[in-house]
Structure 1
Amino acid sequence: MDWLHPALVGVHATAGGLGLLLAGPVMLAPKRRGRHPLLGRAYAISAGVLCLTAFGLVAYDPAGLVGLAVLGTLAVVWIAGGVWLARRRPVLRGSRHAWRVWHLSLMGSSVIALVTAFLIQVAEGHLVAWVAPTVAGTLLITFANIRELARQAARPATLTS
């Protein structure tokens, strides 16, 4: 089974690279049918493969990769939640579009996790690599949520509580 570790690393690196390449276009694509859902599905699949292969790699070095295992677990939960919201579009707080804020937060958090994991590898675990993506990403998610909430407030109310 000497081939398993290099195979996992190869699939992991490919999925991670693809996820990082897709994250920007998904976030910038207009939020309507067409490009955004298509790119979003590709992102979710690549990020999911990335996280699953990360769990396999943790088995080779549990003590050294425990932090990344936690990050991968969080990313899987965020991706699954974001995909679930996009598919189900539940009515939250009496609004047909309130799910979008949660979707944006969850998927944005998954991007933060991917960027963090990448920077940790590049910077060899430096503390800044753990903190900077979270700080910057949280600010971006906050501004995007403020914009989305303003957009929702401008819409005529279609449902009442």
Structure 2
Amino acid sequence: MFSALLTVHITAGVICLITGLISMLSKKRKGRHTWSGEVYHASFVIIFLTSVTMALMHWEESAYLFYIGFFSYSFAIIGYLAVKRKWRNWLLYYISGMLGSYIAVITAVLVVNAQKIGFLQGVPILLVWFLPTIVGSPLIALVNRKYALKKASASS
């Protein structure tokens, strides 16, 4: 059962990586952006459910993954709900949540595969854990600033 869950988990992760990238690179309007975003979120739900289930199955060695699963999915659900419910300042929450969740997926891929990725071999694992956040957080701030400036100039 564990290997089947792991296969589903990895497949959903690959789908997240691809559809997240498609969504980021697409024009921000209905169509490709919204379709890929829906698939991204659905795949992230699968990642979340399989990670929590696998952590529960191997609690002694994987308890920390249970909490990481909840933490990572919290970004995706905040971004998803912000756009669906049009919260006040929804765009800020949407961008931060969705890009934050994408950083979580990239972090998971890098941490699991660090020893197989040439340029990461020999890099301290703690740095591998934090590198996507170190690189991605300023990018999230730039994207938020870009859209805040667009919104400000549109309302002027």
Give the TM-score range, shorter chain.
0.7 to 0.9
The match for 1:109 among 100, 106, 128 is: 100
TM-score computed with the length of structure 1 as normaliser: 0.85
Task: Indicate yes or no: 2:59 matched with 1:62.
Answer: yes
Q: Distance in 2 between matches of 1:71 and 1:129?
A: 15
Larger RCO of the pair (alpha carbons < 8 Å, separation 6+):
1
Q: Which residue among 16, 19, 25 is the counterpart of 2:16? A: 19
1:146 corresponds to? 145
- 1:71 Cα offset (Å): 2.1
- 1:83 partner letter: Y
1:9 to 6, 10, 14: 6
Q: State whether residues 68 and 117 of structure 1, in contact with CA within 8 Å, keep that contact through their aligned partners in structure 2.
A: no
State the one-letter code of the partner of 2:125: H
Q: Distance in 2 between matches of 1:5 and 1:156?
A: 53
Q: In structure 2, what is the Cα distance between the partners aligned to 1:64 and 1:121?
A: 15
Number of equivalences:
148
Partner of 1:95: none
Bigger Cα displacement from structure 2, 78-87 vs 36-45: 78-87
Q: Distance in 2 between matches of 1:142 and 1:109?
A: 11
Instruction: Say whether 1:71 aligns with 2:62.
Output: no
Partner of 2:132: 133
Q: Does 1:123 align with 2:114?
A: yes
Cα root mean square deviation, aligned: 1.6
Unaligned runs of 5+ in 2: 116-123
Render the CA deviation track for 1:82-134: whole Å, top value 9, x for unaligned. 111111113x2xxxxx3111100011110011111111101268112211001
User: Shift of the alpha carbon at 1:69?
Assistant: 2.4
Taking only the aligned residue pairs, the percentage that are identical comes to: 29
User: Matched residues in 1 for 2:10 and 2:150: separation?
Assistant: 37
CA distance in structure 2 between the partners assigned to 1:69 and 1:20 by the alignment = 21
Separation of aligned partners in 1, 2:126 and 2:97: 23
TM-score by length of 2: 0.88
Question: What stretches of structure 1 of length at least 5 have no aligned partner?
Answer: 93-97
CA distance in 1, matches of 2:72, 2:48: 7
